[in-house]
């Protein structure tokens, strides 16, 4: 991540700001005042809508917007039925922290590892109701997760193998998934599961 910041910083060398700081601060304050006014107006509208609903008026509630993230290494999309579709691109190495953060936004606690494979110290039943997976023609792994089926206090654990990791191993597994309690101390290994 620091490499990205260093590259950005280097690319901005020679760029100079001609607007005085006082003018920028004044513009920010003006925007905040307008935002507070907009929030107050929004609260008044929301109050009116809740009054309309309470008095039998038409309902305007729709499904939440959900999460829709498309990156080179993966995509995460919330579905209308409450499930979440995750697609992993085999050719790209993903950043586990970014995938974990995106899944958390979709209501799925997760512990993602690259070339490290973990087990929960206790067996948690019901994983088959939480997750299913398939492969598309291009080799993309498609995972469907139902956050509502996850037992309370659990997270998904995933070990994802990169294409260059132990290429001579007889194991054909590209990824291993499971459930663990959020506070569990996981038993992890860099050896590929059989």
pLDDT digits (tens, 9 = 90+) for 32-54: 665 444 454 444 444 444 443 44
> Is residue 73 over pLDDT 80?
yes
> Is residue 103 over pLDDT 50?
yes
Instruction: Give the pLDDT of residue 131.
Output: 95
Return contacts of 88-96, CB within 8 angstroms, 24+ apart.
88/140, 88/141, 88/143, 88/160, 88/175, 89/140, 90/139, 90/140, 90/141, 90/163, 90/174, 91/139, 91/163, 93/162, 94/160, 96/160
> Is residue 4 over pLDDT 90?
no
Q: What is the mean pLDDT of residues 64-72?
A: 84
Interval 108-160: pLDDT, tens = 999 999 999 999 999 999 999 999 998 887 778 899 999 999 999 999 999 99
Predicted confidence band at 16 (pLDDT cuts at 50, 70, 90)?
Answer: low
Looking at per-residue pLDDT, the higher value among 128 and 193 belongs to 128
Of 108, 106, 93, 101, nearest in space to 162 by CA = 93
Instruction: Give the pLDDT of residue 98.
Output: 95
């Amino acid at each position: 991540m620091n490499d990205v910041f260093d590259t950005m910083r280097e690319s901005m060398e020679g760029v100079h700001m001609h607007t005085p700081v006082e003018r920028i601060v004044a513009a920010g304050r003006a925007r905040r005042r307008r935002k507070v006014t907009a929030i107050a107006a929004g609260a008044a509208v929301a109050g009116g809508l809740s009054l309309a609903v309470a008095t039998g008026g038409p309902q305007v509630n729709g499904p939440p917007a959900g999460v829709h993230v498309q990156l080179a290494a993966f995509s995460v999309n919330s579905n209308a039925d409450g499930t979440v579709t995750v697609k992993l691109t085999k050719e790209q190495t993903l950043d586990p922290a970014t995938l974990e953060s995106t899944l958390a936004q979709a209501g799925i606690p997760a512990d993602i590892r690259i070339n490290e494979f973990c087990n929960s110290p206790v067996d948690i039943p019901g994983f088959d109701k939480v997750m299913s997976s398939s492969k598309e023609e291009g080799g993309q792994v498609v995972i469907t997760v139902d956050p509502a089926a996850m037992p309370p206090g659990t997270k998904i654990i995933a070990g994802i193998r990169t294409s260059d990791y132990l290429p001579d191993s007889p194991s054909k597994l590209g990824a291993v998934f499971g459930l663990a309690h959020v506070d569990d101390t996981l038993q992890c290994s860099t050896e590929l599961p059989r």
